[in-house]
Amino acid sequence: MIYIELSNRQKKIIKIVQENEPITSEQIAKNLNVTRATLRPDLAILTMMGVLDARPKVGYFYSGKSAVNIIAQEVKNIKVKDMMSIPIIVTEESSVYDGIVTLFLEDVGTIFVVSNGSFTGIVSRKDFLKSVMGGADMNKVPIGMIMTRTPNVVTISPEENALVAAIKIIEHEVDSLPVVEKVEEAGKEIVKVIGRISKSNITKLFVELCKE
Amino acid sequence: MIYIELSNRQKKIIKIVQENEPITSEQIAKNLNVTRATLRPDLAILTMMGVLDARPKVGYFYSGKSAVNIIAQEVKNIKVKDMMSIPIIVTEESSVYDGIVTLFLEDVGTIFVVSNGSFTGIVSRKDFLKSVMGGADMNKVPIGMIMTRTPNVVTISPEENALVAAIKIIEHEVDSLPVVEKVEEAGKEIVKVIGRISKSNITKLFVELCKE
């Protein structure tokens, strides 16, 4: 893909054609107060780019071809596995207290929970705050009691692209997604958490894409 | 801005020129096993686009012009004031308990704090969790005691652009930025909080930019 900035005259030509199609090069030249020869390279490039259609003996038409969305193209090539962070994982049996300590130590908003190595749910700052506010004994209550359990958790596959991840985060109003994959372990199928995609990852990607 | 997808032959031509510059159109034609006449439109458009430079009696050069970053251009036109959310505001005197209730009711991660109408700080889920864990009396401790106070808070102006906001969020590792402006009220200058920009806003913008 190549991006080119149109000159002001090229932009004016597009506007004139849009408003007056079909229009001959003589009419465009008159409208812009220049000669046909001056316009020739501009019309050539606009036609070759597919912005304008030229029909012999009729004139120029606006093709209506809108800007191909280059951003989406680029983002769809970025896979979740190439941008994910390390997941912070605790077991269901861990205490709420240990969970909170982990949350502060790792400075994450959400922790993923496993049981026998298989993903079973997530627990967030909000869940912890609710639990502590409710007067639970932080040292006795296990995380399994306060977590959000699968299948009520939105997950994503490592092979998905960055745009799908961002859409899931927005549509489900979550802060992060566990990146999971099914694997065989000791003859048993388990759901392994291999990463984490958060709004921070998306925001970082956004900054990277925008910086030259 | 207009984006055009180059044909495979155009891409091949660029590669040949990059590797063999300066190179004549005869040599390029020979390399591709086509006639010069076939190549003429491709060379014309690549030259007009500024990807190749043609020097009479020497040949074609690669201009080295990299893709102008269209994403950045577009993002820089989006202002904070056009994408910000409503700020959730409490006073310094409010209790930690009231703050937590507000946080749950409004479902935000960070609340902004004011005193006499002027912005003085922020308080997050993490601050509340720390305070409650520490055994503070939620009904007695005022938010002013546990909040992060200005000038230790990163803020942004409504006139800044979306990219600056995203960079601030990433560089300072914060979840959201208070959008503030200085105003005169009753002959006194105060800092008014007029909005909130969070990673959610950036993620939403990212999705919007990518969806056609």
Nearest CA in chain A to B104: A126
The pLDDT value recorded for residue B147 is 97
Asked whether the beta carbons of residue A3 and residue B67 sit closer than 8 angstroms, the reply is yes
Asked whether the beta carbons of residue A133 and residue B130 sit closer than 8 angstroms, the reply is no
| Residues paired with residue B182 on neighbouring β-strands, in sequence order | B191
End-to-end CA distance of chain B: 15
Find chain A residues with C-beta within 8 A of B207's C-beta.
163, 166-167, 170
Averaged over B116-144, what is the pLDDT?
93
Q: Which residue has the higher pLDDT, B45 or A71?
A: B45
The pLDDT value recorded for residue A66 is 45
Closest CA to B169 of A204, A75, A109, A130: A204
Of A48-62, B29-43, B75-89, B195-209, the least confident: A48-62
Closest CA to B200 of B169, B172, B179, B171: B169
Q: How confident is the model at residue A65 (pLDDT cuts 50, 70, 90)?
A: low
The pLDDT mean for chain B works out to 89
Q: Which two tokens stand for residue A59?
A: 């004139």
Closest Cα of chain B to A185: distance in Å? 36
Question: In sequence order, which residues have a C-beta less than 8 Å from that of residue B132 and are 6 or more positions away?
Answer: A129, A132, A133, B96, B100, B138
In the block, tokens 């040292």 appear at A139
The pLDDT mean for chain A works out to 89
DSSP string covering B125-179, please? HHHHHHHHHTT--TTTSBHHHHSEETTSS--B-TTSBHHHHHHHHHHTT-SEEEE
The pLDDT value recorded for residue A64 is 63
For residue A1, pLDDT beyond 50: no
Q: What is the ipTM of this complex?
A: 0.72
Closest Cα of chain A to B27: distance in Å? 24
The pLDDT value recorded for residue A101 is 95
Q: Which two tokens stand for residue B65?
A: 């012009």
Probe site for chain A from B43, B210, B211 (most A CB atoms < 10 A) = B210
CA–CA distance, B131 with A133 (Å, rounded to integer): 11
DSSP string covering A1-59, please? -EEEPPPHHHHHHHHHHHHH-SB-HHHHHHHHTS-HHHHHHHHHHHHHTTSEEEETTTE
For residue A175, pLDDT beyond 80: yes
**What does the pLDDT look like over B91-111, one tens digit per residue?**
999 999 999 999 999 999 999
Nearest CA in chain A to B72: A210
Q: How confident is the model at residue B128 (pLDDT cuts 50, 70, 90)?
A: very high
Averaged over A70-85, what is the pLDDT?
83
Q: Which residue has the higher pLDDT, A3 or B182?
A: B182
Amino acid at the residue B23: I
Domains and CATH numbers, chain A: 8-62 (1.10.10.10), 73-210 (3.10.580.10)
